[in-house]
Structure 1
Amino acid sequence: MITISNFEKYVLPQILVRGEDYYESGAVLEIEEESTGEWIATVCGTENYEVTVSMEGNEIVAWECDCPYDGNICKHVIATLLAIRDSRGKAGRFLSAKEANTQLGLLGKSMPQIVKDKEIEQILLFAESDKLSDFILKYAASHSDFKSALVEAFLPKRPAKKVDYRNEIESCFNSSYRKYSKKGRYYEPELDWNEISDKVDGYLAKATLLFQREALEEAATIALQVLRSIGGNYIDEDFLYNDGDIDFGIICEDAGDLLLKVVQHSGASQALKENVLNEIIQISKLATYREYEIFDMDELVQQIMLSVQSKEEALLSVDKLIKERTERWDLYKLVLRKIEILKELDKTTEVEATISEFLYLPEIRRQEVAKLLDEKCYEKAICMLNEGIVIAERGGNLGTLREWQEQLLFIYEEVHDVAKVIEMCQLLFIHTNGSLDYYHKLKSLISSTDWKEYLSTLMQETTFYDYWGSGNNKADIYIEEKEYDKLFSFLSAVKYRRLDALVQYASHLNATHSSQILSLFTDDLRVYAEKNLGRSHYEYIARVLRGMRKLNGGKDVVKQLVEEFRVLYKRRPAMMQELGEF
Structure 2
Amino acid sequence: MRLDSLTRDQIRAFAGAKIFERGEEYLTSELVNELDIDSEGIVTAKVEGTDTYEVEVWEEEDDVGAVCDCPYDGHPCKHVAAVLLAYLEHSAKQRKAKTKQPKAKESASGGKSAGSLKANLKRCTHTELVELVLEGTKGNKDFERKLMLRFVPDSKKTLTTLLQQVKTVRLKVSEYENYYSSSCRKAAREFKAILKVLTDAPPEVRVEVRFAVADRILPFLNEYGFSNEPLETALELALAELVKDVATPEFQPQRDQIIQWMRRYHDKGNHGMTDELLACLLKLSATEEELRDTIHWLEKKGSWSSYYRKLIAELYAKLGDEEAELAALSKNLEGMPDHWRLAEFWTKQGAADKALKTCWDGVQRGKGYSEELFAFLREDCLRRDDAEGLFTLLVEHLKRPYGGWHMEQLSASRRMLYRESSSSGDFLQEHELLRDRLHKQGDTAGLVRLYTLYLNPLKVSLSLYQEMEHLLPEPERGAITEKVLGHLKQKIGKDTWGSSPERRLLAEIYAHGKHWDALLDLVKNDFDLLAHYKDRLAPLHPHVYLEAYTKEVEKLINGRGRSNYRAAAEHLLEIREFYERHLNQSRKWLVYLEELKRANLKLRALHEELGKVRL
Shorter-chain TM band? 0.5 to 0.7
The match for 2:216 is: 229
Rounded Cα–Cα distance in structure 1 between residues aligned with 2:447 and 2:321: 42
Alignment of 1:351-430 (within 5 A): 351-361=325-335, 363-365=337-339, 381-388=359-366, 399-401=403-405, 409-411=428-430, 413-414=432-433, 421-422=450-451, 424-426=453-455, 430=459
Residue 190 of structure 2 corresponds to which residue in structure 1?
199
**Other-structure match for 1:27:** none
**Alpha-carbon distance, 1:576 to partner:** 13
Are 1:475 and 1:490, in contact at CA under 8 Å, matched by a contact in 2? yes
How far is the alpha carbon of 1:369 from its aligned partner? Answer: 7.6
Amino acid at match of 2:366: G
Matching of residues 254-269 of structure 1 within 5 Å? 254-268=237-251
Amino acid at match of 1:321: L
Structure 1 residue identity aligned to 2:294: S
Q: 1:129 aligned to 2:109?
A: no
Q: Kindly state the Cα deviation for residue 172 of structure 1 after the two structures are TM-superposed.
A: 2.3
Between the aligned partners of 1:225 and 1:135, the Cα distance in structure 2 is 19
- Flag the 1:560–1:474 CA change in 2: closer, same or farther, 3 A: same
1:180 to 175, 178, 194: 175
For 2:485, which of 456, 480, 504 is the aligned residue?
Answer: 456
Of the three residues 481, 485, 498, the one matched with 2:517 is 485
Partner residue of 2:267? 285
Pair 1:491–1:232, CA change in 2 (3 A):
same
Does structure 2 conserve the Cα–Cα contact (< 8 Å) formed by 1:342 and 1:350?
Answer: yes
Trace 1:56-71 onto structure 2 (pairs within 5 A).
none
Cα distance between partner residues in 2 of 1:441 and 1:300: 50
Counterpart in the other structure of 1:302: 282
Alignment of 1:492-507 (within 5 A): 492-494=524-526, 498=527, 500-507=528-535
Q: Taking structure 1 as reference, are residues 480 and 548 closer, same or farther at Cα in structure 2, changes over 3 Å only?
A: farther
Cα distance, 1:568–1:355 mapped onto 2, change above 3 Å: closer
Q: Does 406-415 or 542-551 show the bigger shift?
A: 406-415
Q: Is the 8 A contact 2:142 2:194 kept in 1?
A: no
Counterpart of 2:102 in structure 1 is: none
Aligned ranges 1:120-159 → 2 under 5 Å: 129=138, 150-153=151-154, 156=155, 159=156
User: Is residue 314 of structure 1 aligned with residue 291 of structure 2?
Assistant: yes
- Give unmatched runs, 5+ long, in structure 2: 1-37, 41-125, 371-395, 410-417, 438-445, 558-564, 602-606
Contact 2:335–2:369 (Cα < 8 Å) also in 1: no
Q: Distance in 2 between matches of 1:195 and 1:576?
A: 34
Report the aligned-residue RMSD: 5.3
- 1:399 is displaced (CA, Å) by 3.4
Q: Is the 8 A contact 1:342 1:348 kept in 2?
A: yes
What is the deviation of 1:390?
Answer: 8.4
Using the alignment, how far apart are the partners of 2:546 and 2:277 within structure 1?
59
Q: Distance in 2 between matches of 1:449 and 1:397?
A: 27
TM-score by length of 2: 0.53
Contact residue 372 and residue 378 of structure 1 kept, 8 A: no
SS at match of 1:401: coil
Distance 1:576 1:231 in 2: 44
Separation in structure 1 between the aligned mates of residue 149 and residue 326 of structure 2, nearest angstrom? 58
Task: Give the Cα separation in 2 of the matches to 1:493 and 1:147.
Answer: 71
Aligned match of 1:543? 574
Amino acid at match of 1:341: L
Distance 1:354-1:226 versus aligned 2 partners, 3 A rule = same
1:298 CA drift (Å): 0.9
Which residue is equivalent to 2:547?
A: 523
Looking at structure 2, the residues matched to 219 and 362 of structure 1 have their Cα atoms a distance apart, in angstroms, of 44
Alpha-carbon distance in 1 for matches of 2:356, 2:402: 23
2:230 to 240, 243, 247: 247
Q: Kindly indicate whether the alpha-carbon contact (under 8 Å) linking 1:360 and 1:388 is maintained by their aligned counterparts in 2.
A: yes
Q: Tell me the TM-score normalized by structure 1.
A: 0.55
Give 1:556-567 correspondences, 5 Å limit. Answer: 556=585, 560=588, 562-564=590-592, 566=594
The answer to whether the 8 Å contact 2:334/2:367 transfers is: no
Structure 2 distance, partners of 1:387, 1:577, is 58
Paired residue for 1:276, among 234, 258, 282? 258
Q: CA deviation at 1:530?
A: 4.4
1:31-65 superposed Cα distances (whole Å, 9 cap, x missing partner): xxxxxxxxxxxxxxxxxxxxxxxxxxxxxxxxxxx
CA distance in 2, matches of 1:576, 1:300: 51
Match of 1:436 among 462, 466, 489: 462
Q: Please state whether the residue corresponding to 1:386 is helix, strand or coil.
A: helix
Residue 223 of structure 1 aligns with an amino acid whose one-letter code is R
Report the secondary structure of 1:477's partner residue: helix
Contact between 2:295 and 2:312, CA under 8 Å: does it hold in 1?
A: yes
Q: How many residues align?
A: 415
| 8 A contact 1:259–1:276 mirrored in 2 | no
SS of residue paired to 1:271 = helix
Percent identity between the two aligned chains? 11
Shift of 1:166: 7.4
- Match of 2:153, SS state, is helix
Structure 1: stretches of 5+ with no match in the other structure = 1-11, 15-116, 141-145, 240-245
Contact 1:227 1:255 in 2 (8 A): yes
C-alpha distance in 1 between matches for 2:343 and 2:587: 63
In 1, Cα distance between equivalents of 2:465 and 2:427? 17
C-alpha distance in 1 between matches for 2:208 and 2:549: 67
Aligned match of 2:442: none
Q: Distance in 2 between matches of 1:200 and 1:548?
A: 60
Taking structure 1 as reference, are residues 264 and 339 closer, same or farther at Cα in structure 2, changes over 3 Å only? same
Instruction: Please give the secondary structure, in 2, of the residue aligned with 1:545.
Output: helix
How do residues 1-80 of structure 1 correspond to structure 2 at under 5 angstroms?
A: none
* Mapped contact 1:223–1:259 kept (Cα < 8 A): yes
